[in-house]
């Protein structure tokens, strides 16, 4: 067993009893013993979080005018009040940090990996900042995989975005991978679940100790962590990236859900791209605030998709006319969904089925877009 300690942080309203990627890790994937080799923190607003809040401190039940109510069962009122404050103000996050620090001080692990979604991703940053502030623990290396980090409602409660330990990446985080969801289309989603973005795009000349890996993915806030009918491929890709990241950083997993090859990864990305075309035809809007130079290429979902395509099909760029049939057959055999995507690419409003025309579109019509994305994004073996 690895000596690396792994921390799982659930999102708002979620705990280990849900069916998302975080809960699945706790129930089905983690090797070793809970609290010895790994731990899971419930998300604010969940029943499990409310119980921990009740057990940790006296809980007083207040009425709408601020008067303490009598004759009210605290455990009953708690499930409403604590969950409400968990949703709006993140009640329970600070307690999760305190519980985690207590266990780390007891365990003294040589390295720590963290995974979190939404406010759970912010909890990862809070834990890292507290460890950085502790002279006895500041040197412990951390790695973090964050699913769509959201501090909380940005306009309803700005305090969520003003606490430095919630919205900063300390230097003890060595590798930080972040998935950003691009399809928070409704006004309520944008107000309540706007992701924390800027801190993961630091000044490239800043010589920071943290290495960042960013993965914009299509879908609403939950799509990379749990199944949604339209964006099921985002969950498959998100889980693949998360499990690969953990195993690369010495977390032991049972039956990791890792895609077999770069071609397999491209197949799932292609299925997303096909759906995105239908979404665009219906007037869907992508979340443009998240940096993604290849978003509008029509061929690739993100830089990771492009990188995996070039690994799977290294001879595709540039493609000569006499290579067309061989390359087409090779792609069809290894990644049939990619083949179908290439057949249905639309250029100038009309369908094009000739792969050479697609090649022209990539290298001429979309040269600025595609060439702005580096061939390698730094994911060593992803």
pLDDT digits over 121-132, tens only? 999 999 999 999
Average pLDDT estimate for 298-327: 84
Q: What is the CATH number for 158?
A: 3.40.50
Same domain, 58 and 194: yes
Same domain, 110 and 202: yes
How many domains does the chain contain in total?
2
In a domain, 266, yes or no: no
pLDDT digits over 176-197, tens only? 999 999 875 555 566 667 788 8
153 vs 187, higher pLDDT: 153
Residue 61 C-beta-side C-alpha neighbours within 13 Å:
12
Same domain, 250 and 342: no
In a domain, 367, yes or no: yes
Q: Among residues 226, 204, 258, 238, which one has the least CA distance to residue 374?
A: 204
Helical H runs in the chain?
21-24, 47-56, 74-89, 93-107, 119-133, 159-162, 187-192, 232-248, 262-281, 303-312, 324-334, 336-343, 355-360, 367-371
Domain boundary among 240, 258, 276: 258
pLDDT digits over 339-380, tens only? 888 776 544 444 434 554 455 355 333 433 333 333 233 333
Q: Which range is least confidently modeled, 66-80, 157-171, 172-186?
A: 66-80
Whether the per-residue pLDDT at 225 is higher than 80: the answer is yes
Domain that holds residue 162: 5-258
């Amino acid at each position: 067993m690895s000596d690396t300690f792994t921390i799982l942080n659930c999102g708002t309203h979620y705990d280990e009893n849900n069916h998302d990627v975080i809960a699945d890790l706790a129930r089905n994937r983690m090797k070793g013993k809970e609290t010895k080799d790994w731990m899971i923190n419930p998300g604010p607003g969940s029943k499990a979080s409310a119980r921990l809040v009740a057990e940790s401190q006296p809980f007083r039940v207040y009425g709408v005018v601020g008067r303490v109510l009598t004759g009210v069962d605290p455990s009953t009122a708690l499930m409403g009040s604590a969950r409400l404050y968990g949703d709006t103000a993140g009640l329970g996050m600070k307690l999760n940090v305190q519980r985690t620090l207590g266990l780390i001080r007891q365990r003294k692990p040589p390295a720590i990996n963290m995974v979190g979604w939404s406010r759970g991703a912010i909890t990862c940053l809070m834990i890292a900042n507290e460890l950085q502030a502790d002279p006895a623990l500041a040197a412990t290396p951390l790695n973090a995989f964050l699913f769509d980090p959201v501090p909380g409602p940005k306009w309803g409660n700005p305090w969520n975005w003003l606490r430095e330990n919630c919205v900063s990446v300390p230097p003890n985080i060595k590798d930080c991978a972040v998935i950003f969801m691009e399809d928070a289309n409704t006004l309520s989603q944008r107000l309540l679940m706007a992701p924390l973005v800027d801190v993961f795009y630091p000044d490239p000349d800043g010589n920071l100790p943290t290495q960042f890996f960013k993965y914009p993915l299509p879908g609403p806030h939950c799509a990379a962590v749990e199944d949604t009918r339209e964006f099921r491929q985002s969950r498959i890709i998100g889980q693949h990236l998360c499990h690969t990241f953990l195993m690369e950083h010495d977390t032991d997993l049972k039956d990791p859900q890792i895609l077999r090859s770069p071609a397999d990864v491209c197949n799932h990305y292609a299925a997303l791209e096909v759906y995105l075309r239908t979404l665009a035809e219906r007037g869907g809007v992508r979340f443009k605030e998240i940096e993604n130079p290849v978003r509008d290429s029509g061929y690739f979902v993100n830089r990771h998709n492009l990188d995996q395509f070039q690994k799977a099909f290294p001879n595709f760029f540039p493609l000569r006319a006499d290579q067309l049939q061989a390359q087409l057959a090779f792609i069809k055999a290894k990644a049939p969904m990619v083949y179908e995507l290439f057949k249905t690419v639309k250029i100038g409003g009309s369908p094009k089925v000739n792969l050479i025309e697609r090649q022209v579109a990539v290298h001429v019509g979309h040269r600025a877009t595609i060439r702005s994305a580096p061939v390698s994004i730094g994911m060593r073996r992803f």
